[in-house]
């Protein structure tokens, strides 16, 4: 097989211009990679929109499941943890506390679990076309965010409908930046789990355990301060970005207050670190994604 310089010299000897040619399967520079993604932004958006609108098309109830699924999840956990185990403690509005925790947790848990197989699930497209592979996890997260908009609407409706009937407040608008931060955080996680899951498919099972542990470590179903009293242990819990995201949403929606500045700083720092670090981690293996599927 001829090297790239030899191919170019051969083309030049025949009077052809090789300046526009480049090797296939070579990782571009980070800046060039970002530019390639930007050039394909319309494709990414269309792919995400199409998948979001057709994800339940084979089911009889179709996209009604976007509303039913979160309601069923919240009802199940309320029966187990609220009525049977009574883990609500002194929480005044435990139904709203639980609904917010479950639905926000599911958003991040989906990025952890589905990210492990997102590249292999799209292997036909990877084999057929040349494009930046980061387009796939980006489209997957955008699709999940589109679905989550319906979930957020259900969440707000439920906490208004269940006693003690939370009323809308101006602080509810803070769910917009909270939602954006969580979506970007989820994208960073998706980049990391996509590369790990592609090279080590068995990691999907391990990531499932990680997701389950994260649920209990984030105070999703119970006030975590009720069980953790050591200041060092509580500090570790409070450094958990998902715990902070859920707590910020509860503060804005239930309490009608602006979350503490420290919470915003923790979530912003984690989001920036995971998003940038995850993107670079994914990009460094760019040339291997198509080759290993061959």
pTM of the model as a whole: 0.85
| Rounded Cα–Cα distance for residues 276 and 184 (Å) | 10
Q: In the prediction, which pLDDT does 226 show?
A: 78
- 54-77 per-position pLDDT tens digit: 765 565 555 666 677 777 877 777
Confidence at residue 90, expressed as pLDDT on a 0 to 100 scale: 73
Lowest mean pLDDT among 175-189, 212-226, 255-269: 212-226
115 token code pair: 């990210």
Contacts for 242 with CB less than 8 Å, ≥ 6 apart = 104, 105, 108, 214, 218
d(CA 28, CA 42): 21
* CA pair distance 10, 271, nearest whole angstrom: 49
Q: Could you tell me which residue, 196 or 1, shows the higher pLDDT? A: 196
- pLDDT tens, residue by residue, 253-288: 999 999 999 999 999 999 999 999 999 999 999 988
């Amino acid at each position: 097989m001829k090297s790239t310089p030899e191919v170019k010299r051969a083309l030049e000897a025949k009077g052809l211009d090789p300046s526009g040619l480049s090797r296939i399967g070579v990782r571009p520079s980070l800046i060039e990679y970002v530019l390639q993604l930007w050039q394909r932004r319309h494709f990414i958006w269309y792919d995400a929109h199409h998948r979001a609108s057709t994800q339940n098309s084979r089911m009889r109830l179709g996209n009604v499941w976007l509303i039913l699924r979160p309601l069923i999840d919240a009802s199940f956990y309320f029966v187990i943890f609220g009525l049977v185990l009574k883990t609500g403690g002194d929480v005044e509005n435990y139904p709203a506390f639980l609904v917010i925790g479950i639905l926000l947790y599911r958003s991040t848990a989906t990025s952890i679990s589905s990210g492990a197989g997102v590249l292999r699930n799209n292997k036909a497209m990877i084999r057929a076309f040349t494009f930046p592979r980061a387009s796939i996890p980006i489209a997957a997260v955008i699709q999940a965010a589109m679905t989550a908009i319906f979930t957020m609407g259900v969440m707000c409706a439920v906490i208004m409908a269940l006693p003690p009937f939370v009323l809308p407040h101006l602080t509810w608008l803070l769910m917009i930046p909270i939602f954006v931060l969580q979506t970007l955080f989820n994208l960073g996680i998706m980049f990391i789990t996509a590369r790990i899951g592609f090279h080590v498919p068995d990691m999907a099972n391990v990531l499932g355990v990680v997701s389950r542990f994260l649920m209990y470590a984030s105070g999703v179903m119970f006030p975590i301060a009720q069980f953790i009293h050591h200041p060092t242990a509580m500090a570790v819990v409070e450094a958990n970005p998902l715990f902070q995201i859920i707590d910020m949403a509860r503060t804005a929606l239930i309490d009608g207050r602006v979350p503490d500045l420290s919470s915003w700083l923790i979530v912003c720092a984690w989001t920036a670190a995971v998003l940038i670090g995850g993107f670079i981690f994914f990009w460094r293996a760019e040339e291997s994604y198509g080759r290993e599927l061959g």
